[in-house]
Amino acid sequence: MKTDQPSASIFNIAVIVASLGYFVDIYDLLLFTIVRVPSLKSLGLPQSEIDAGAGLLLINIQMVGLLIGGIFWGILGDKKGRLSVLFGSILIYSVANIANGFVHGINGYVLWRFVAGFGLAGELGAGITLVSEILPKEKRGYGTMIVATVGVSGAVAANLIAKAVGDWRICYFIGGGLGLALLLLRISVMESHMFNQVRQSATTRGSFVALFTSKERFLKYLKCILLGTPTWFVVGILIAFSNKFAAEMQVQGVISPGDAVAFCYAGLVLGDFSSGLISQVWKSRKKVMLLFLVLTAIMVAIYLNLHGASTVLFYTVCFFMGFSVGFWAIFVTIAAESFGTNLRATVATTVPNFARGMLPLISLLFIAVQGKFSLLQSGAIVAAVCIGVSMLAAWSIEETFGKDLNYLEKL
């Protein structure tokens, strides 16, 4: 018999579904990165279009889908419920995944990558919000740790499956099938008790504009977004262009960005687990964020000084650099814990997507500074900016560990 009361178990069905949903979410995001080149080649596009043109369009259109979807699903989560978003987003990105496997032209690919991005935008925020609200405050860090750890491992699975299967279309079908299978678990998942209480009141819910009408609320929201900046700098710049950085440092052997991504995400899995666990032991989110940001600064410094290193050492550093930015669980949990029930889903859903959306701005800065500095110097400068603003945000943001979440924002 279902109940609306918080469950004492960190392995309840909501945690399991949110974890597996995020697993498929990350699987799809990384799978697209892995199969983008071979899929576009099979569609008959020349290399010039794959590197720029259509290839860049696909990446940008997916990002637009993520940003629009983040706002849509966030508002819906506060207005209609966390479950409506959790399963609506899973359904949409699963269908989009399957449709991606059937495309035979670039226009269809662009359409379905947008739909996939739109769907993928909602799962993590809704899952973290639901888990945060149904678990006791002393245990919710464990729940969000499980969600992030299982979810990020989807990147490792995507890399292994892509290599084992070989056919990019089948890889998409597998992702879509996994998502649809998750929907069968919906019948066992309960809605958040906190949300049900708010839904019965006349309180304004899901107002995205309200995040900008109060200076205090806006600054808190901005800090939550900035906390995630270093993760996307490391993954989107240092790891994505690892072959170029390796060549600049005359690393021995040939470095594959795909393999660098795999090692980085393997580190991320361990990092998310560790940061969540340490947060529970230390009873602090802030201290763990600051610890991992210091680790990130150290690992980036080591990475940018691997002159003449072996391939094994280079990939090992990629792994530990991934570990150092494995604070995604803490980052999203802080966002969920920082706002009242009537805005919580809006914040927890938009924050990770806006943090992802910082990558184009980071890329522009990285390109701009290369006009006066070398590749390695540019990497160091952008690293200092990204890690610096994140440290400032972590230092000044409120401690949310053990915070009672059963309250409302005054709008």
Q: Average pLDDT of the chain?
A: 89
Tokens found for residue 353: 């997507």
Let me know: does 194 contact 66? Beta carbons within 8 Å: no
116/100 Cα distance (integer angstroms): 9
58/49 Cα distance (integer angstroms): 11
Q: Where are the domains positioned within the chain?
A: 8-203, 229-326+358-399
What is the mean pLDDT of the segment spanning 322-327?
95
Let me know: does 127 contact 18? Beta carbons within 8 Å: yes
The type of residue at 295 is L
The percent of residues in the chain predicted with pLDDT above 70, rounded, is: 97
pLDDT tens-digit series, residues 180-201:
988 887 767 888 888 888 888 8
Instruction: Give the burial class of 64: count Cβ atoms within 10 A of its Cβ; 0-12 exposed, 13-18 middle, 19 or more buried.
Output: middle
pLDDT, position 236:
87
What is the mean pLDDT of the segment spanning 280-301?
96
> Tokens 């814990």 appear where?
337
116/96 Cα distance (integer angstroms): 5
Q: Is the pLDDT of residue 8 over 70?
A: no
For every residue of 188-228, DSSP letters joined together read GPPPPHHHHHHHTS------STHHHHSHHHHHHHHHHHHTT
Tokens found for residue 73: 């699903």
Q: Is the pLDDT of residue 362 over 80?
A: yes
pLDDT tens-digit series, residues 103-154:
988 899 999 999 999 999 998 899 999 999 999 888 888 998 899 889 888 9
| Distance between start and end Cα atoms, the chain | 36
Three-state secondary structure call for residue 88:
helix
pLDDT, position 139:
86
Interior CA angle at 190 toward 188 and 192, to 5°?
Answer: 160
- Closest by CA to 145, choosing from 296, 268, 234, is 268
122/349 Cα distance (integer angstroms): 6
What single-letter DSSP state applies at residue 29? H
pLDDT, position 7:
52
pLDDT tens-digit series, residues 233-243:
999 899 988 98
Instruction: Give the burial class of 77: count Cβ atoms within 10 A of its Cβ; 0-12 exposed, 13-18 middle, 19 or more buried.
Output: buried
- Closest by CA to 93, choosing from 110, 106, 112, is 112
174 CB neighbour count, 10 Å cutoff? 21
Let me know: does 22 contact 154? Beta carbons within 8 Å: yes
143/153 Cα distance (integer angstroms): 16
pLDDT, position 329:
80
pLDDT tens-digit series, residues 12-58:
888 988 899 899 988 988 888 788 888 888 988 877 777 666 777 88
The type of residue at 120 is L
The type of residue at 154 is G
pLDDT, position 3:
38
182/127 Cα distance (integer angstroms): 13
| CATH number 1.10.3720.10 is the correct assignment for the domain at 8-203 | no
Tokens found for residue 63: 């990002």
